[in-house]
Structure 1
Amino acid sequence: MVALVVAVASLAGCGGGTNSPRGADPARAMLANLPSCDRVPLDADPEISAEVTGLVLPDGARVTSVVKQGVLTTVEASIRMTPLDVRAHYEQRDDIDLLRAEDETFEAEVLIRTAQRRMYLRAGALCADGTSLTAVVGPDSDEAGLPQFQNG
């Protein structure tokens, strides 16, 4: 009985949330099963600058496309982070208003408000620690036509 209590106490201290530094999180283990990012070209497309009001990407994001469509601007980028890390990045920022965030391990979505604008971002895993980013920036309005969160 004592051995069982000790074993349970040891396991309880292992962590297991998405912020576990020891990697005990099953979602992170699933991402680690993806191909190495050394085998996936994250820098195949040329990098461009993105001067878009309301665009807030994590440091290190590599922008490859900016397309203006009426009041909306779509930005494509990639970054050496997992979708879980991208979501956590926005949750930790204090210079934005995080309206919604969710993830399904291989994909994360966030909706933020900043500088009188809204930005919807979808982050999809490309490899073990590389992610594609698609951000749509538009007016701060429910009727702006920003993409909706995917359910299911």
Structure 2
Amino acid sequence: MFAVVATVPLLVACGGTDAGQPTDRRPGMLANLPSCDRVPLDADAEVDSQVTGLLLPEGARVTSVVEQGALTTVAATIRMTPLDVRAHYESRGDIDLLRAEDEVFEAEVLMRAQERRTYLRATALCADGTTLTAVVGPDSEEAGLPEFQSN
């Protein structure tokens, strides 16, 4: 009796990479989401977002600012994909990018600016629209910012 052994390449999806390293990006996958014409990005009222250290991409609509002790949580929407959001922060020269990861439908960025540290999560809402959640706090490892969600 003969046994047949077949080897099949295994494809593994990663949770992203540290800042500056390439990652497998599949923007075509975002086309499977509903059209942003059907998802209202401007349904919530825009609010003032004067938060030291908060550097959102131009065009972001801030809909909530909540102070919680030393941390401030900001919610916003923007007409970009999570991959575009990550690329935006990677290209900025006015921040210290500490870490960035993406999983196509979601991107996470940890940055330092204006003596503050910001954790930002960008989550796809529609094909080219994204919700942003930023937590801004002291520039410290012990600031209590959210952790990256990678596996």
TM-score (norm 1): 0.82
Identity %: 77
Q: Give the secondary structure class of the aligned counterpart of 2:47.
A: coil
Number of residue pairs matched? 128
| 2:16 corresponding residue in structure 1 | none
Q: Does 1:132 find its partner at 2:127?
A: no
Paired AA for residue 33 in structure 1: N
Letter in 2 for 1:58: P
Q: List per-residue Cα deviations over 1:16-68 (Å, max 9, x = no partner).
A: xxxxxxxxx86111001110000001111000110100001000000000000
2:50 corresponds to: 51
CA deviations 1:74-103 (Å, max 9, x no partner) are: 000000000000000000000000000010
Partners of 1:139 and 1:26 in 2: how far apart? 32
Task: Give SS of 2:28's match.
Answer: helix
Give the AA of the match of 1:85. D
Q: Distance in 1 between matches of 2:72 and 2:100?
A: 20
What letter is aligned with 1:150? Q
Distance 2:122 2:95 in 1: 18
| 1:39-78 pair list within 5 angstroms | 39-78=38-77
Amino acid at match of 1:73: T
- Consecutive unaligned residues of structure 1, counting only runs of 5 or more, are 1-24
Q: Which runs of 4+ in 1 moved over 4 A?
A: none
Over the residues paired in the alignment, what is the CA RMSD in angstroms?
1.0
The residue aligned with 1:7 is none
Q: Distance in 2 between matches of 1:108 and 1:146?
A: 16
Structure 1 Cα separation of the partners of residues 41 and 74 of structure 2 = 16
The question of whether the paired residues in 1 share the 8 Å contact of 2:25 and 2:104 is answered with no
Structure 2 partner of 1:148: 147
8 Å contact from structure 2 (residues 125, 131) kept in 1:
yes
Residue ranges of structure 2 left out of the alignment (5+ in a row):
1-23
| RCO comparison, higher one (Cα < 8 Å, 6+) | 2
Counterpart Cα distance in 2 of 1:59 and 1:151: 27
Letter in 2 for 1:108: A
